[in-house]
Amino acid sequence: MRERANRFTDAVAFLIIHFPNYPDILAEQGTVVLQSESLARMVDWGSFSLRPDGEDMRLSFEGECKTQTNAQQLQSTIELFRQFFGPGLFKSNGGRQIDQAAFANLQNQIRNADIKVKDNRVDAIMKLSPDAWKLMASLTAP
């Protein structure tokens, strides 16, 4: 765990998650395992970090999977999320007026996220501008 945490010394925030084999345990007991839990079967460790990058912030996710096939499946899932959910992620804005240019910029930043697989590991990195953070905060505020 300490080795993983040492990779984030320059991060302003980070989260490290270990995914136990609980879906297998539930399946053995006859419990129906949900699709989202099948993702947890693929990933042993996951980490999220937030680092300054000039004026932008770099949001990154690292997933260490059990196999290279699982890493490729995780990459496909992230790509699918980016393609279908990213553009409409903040569409439901409670009737608030949003800056269309800032919204288009946020969508562009989501589309430009870098998602790579190396061996049994998936790395996804997205740079977010200050305007993107402000827009997300305004769209998620009550």
What is the rounded average pLDDT of the residues 58-73? 92
The answer to whether residue 110 sits within a structural domain is no
Domain enclosing residue 50, as ranges? 2-86+115-140
Count of domains for the chain: 1
Q: What residue spans of 29-117 are helical by DSSP H? A: 35-42, 68-80, 100-111
More confident residue, 52 or 2: 52
Q: Model-level pTM?
A: 0.75
Pick from 14, 51, 13: nearest CA to 4: 14
Q: What residue spans of the chain are helical by DSSP H? A: 2-6, 22-28, 35-42, 68-80, 100-111, 130-140
What is the rounded average pLDDT of the residues 34-48? 75
The answer to whether residue 48 sits within a structural domain is yes
Average pLDDT value for the chain: 80
pLDDT tens digits, 74-95: 899 888 888 776 556 555 555 5
